Amino acid sequence: MATSFKTFDPNKDSVVTRNLLHEAIPMTGTIVSGTYADLNIKNYSHGMFQSVYDYPFLSSSANHIFDLTCGYPATSSLSGASSTQNAKKINIYNQMAQVLAGFDAEGAVRRFDKDGDLTSGDKINEAYFINLTRLLSKDEVKKGSFTLSLGVNATYGSPFTETINITDASGSDGYKVNSPAGEYGILFANNGTGTPMATADPQPVGLLYYQAGIAVLTASVFGGILSSSAEMNASAETVDAVLSGSAISGNCDDLRHRFLNLSFNNSTELNSTVYFCRTNNTDFNYSSNPTYLSASKMVVKNNSQDVPVSYVTAVGLYSPDNELLAVAKLSEPLKKDPTTEFTIRVRLDY
């Protein structure tokens, strides 16, 4: 326990910094759509979403990587009493929309907007949702780093002979802030392998919410933007047919079947306070360690005329009432005597 203390000058002896750490996350489509024969895919009795793991989910080493689901609003042309899980698909869309898009002036849930202009423009009525786990996205998805490649060839059995690449290329400087969930960018589709898109690329096909780690894809990535609509299952049904006629788990299976690759960089916000612990020539030349003295004499002095010497091995940070809050250990002891002074830089990360 220290017996002498030195007070920090808040204007000179400390500074607060903020750093962003990024980690590249590459995710191959074979994990999502076949490596483990769907043993890494978990469906639930409620049938409202599907979880994807990087290894068979019953294994203790499996990591949850993202959830898949789909939905549409009650105003969608696909909504109706004959549609499979109609109420659940409406509830999922509304839940996602109220969290990510918010409410309008009349208190109604806003629908997802393709260009981010909530007052006008085309809406995303039928949507797939990719909800990344915090394990992967951390504090947020780095803007401008997201790329999702999908197989969109019309034939179900060979989906990857034609592909599109979906990116948030404009997110690095053109992201939106009019969402209660934080910042988001517009996702654009470009031709990848071949030229499957019906019009000149790029085309807006969804939204990426950076802090929430959720990508919203319009169902038209498999229909309206393509020259030929993709067959979503072995029965050669279109995306509209499976969205209305198949369960949510079936729609997730159909999406995974065309999942080629996903990559992005996550961001971890690291806040730090740096303390500059300054020791002047007259400071800390003695030690309170009992072994510093032997028979009332300093063991580091050979004769009484020698200058006192101490060795600094740690720095303690104390509260105003002298309670020890943190200890920083030095890699090696620093020799301290009245002829030397130095500054030790201590950083607290949180």
List pLDDT tens digits, range 280-327: 998 887 777 777 677 666 666 666 677 788 888 899 999 888 899 999
Identify which of 223, 219, 190, 193 has the alpha carbon closest to the alpha carbon of residue 206: 219
Pairing assessment for the beta strands 203-209 and 127-132 based on DSSP bridges: unpaired
Is there a single domain that holds both residue 259 and residue 198? yes
Residues 177-220 pLDDT 10s: 989 999 999 999 999 999 999 887 789 999 999 999 999 999 99
Burial 2-15 (b: 16+ CB within 10 A, else e): eeeeeeeeeeeeee
Whether residue 344 contacts residue 330, with contact meaning beta carbons closer than 8 Å, is answered with: yes
Whether residue 286 contacts residue 309, with contact meaning beta carbons closer than 8 Å, is answered with: no
* Phi (first) and psi of residue 102, to 5 degrees: 85, -160
Report yes or no on 274 lying in a domain.
no
Domain boundary among 233, 267, 301: 267
- Measured CA to CA, the distance from residue 49 to residue 232 in angstroms comes to 18
Domain boundary among 267, 292, 323: 267
Identify which of 172, 175, 176 has the alpha carbon closest to the alpha carbon of residue 143: 172
The band of 2, judged by pLDDT with boundaries at 50, 70 and 90, is low
Is there a single domain that holds both residue 288 and residue 255? no
Is there a single domain that holds both residue 231 and residue 301? no
Report yes or no on 11 lying in a domain.
no
- Structural domain boundaries enclosing 158: 21-267
Q: At what angle do helices 86-100 and 248-257 cross, to 10 degrees?
A: 70
Q: Classify the phi-psi angles of 330: left when phi > 0, otherwise alpha if psi is within -120 to 50, otherwise beta.
A: beta
Is there a single domain that holds both residue 216 and residue 299? no
- Measured CA to CA, the distance from residue 175 to residue 143 in angstroms comes to 8
Number of domains in the chain: 2
Is there a single domain that holds both residue 338 and residue 246? no
The per-residue pLDDT of the chain, averaged, comes to 90
Report yes or no on 77 lying in a domain.
yes
Whether 1 shows a pLDDT value over 60: the answer reads: no
Is there a single domain that holds both residue 247 and residue 299? no
Is there a single domain that holds both residue 47 and residue 116? yes
Report yes or no on 272 lying in a domain.
no
Is there a single domain that holds both residue 242 and residue 295? no
- Identify the residue whose tokens are 């470009």: 190
Give the amino acid at 346.
V
Report yes or no on 183 lying in a domain.
yes
Secondary structure of residue 255 in the 3-state scheme: helix
Is there a single domain that holds both residue 231 and residue 148? yes
pLDDT of residue 297: 64
Whether residue 257 contacts residue 52, with contact meaning beta carbons closer than 8 Å, is answered with: no
Report yes or no on 4 lying in a domain.
no
* Phi (first) and psi of residue 279, to 5 degrees: -115, 115
Is there a single domain that holds both residue 189 and residue 238? yes
Q: Tokens for 238?
A: 């279109």
* Beta carbons within 8 Å of 19's beta carbon, 6+ residues apart: 269, 270, 272
Domain boundary among 242, 267, 292: 267
Who wins on pLDDT, 337 or 213?
A: 213
Is there a single domain that holds both residue 249 and residue 132? yes
Residues 257-266 pLDDT 10s: 999 999 999 9
- Measured CA to CA, the distance from residue 103 to residue 282 in angstroms comes to 64
Report yes or no on 234 lying in a domain.
yes
- For residue 83, the Cα-to-chain-centroid distance in whole angstroms is 34
Is there a single domain that holds both residue 237 and residue 321? no
Report yes or no on 14 lying in a domain.
no
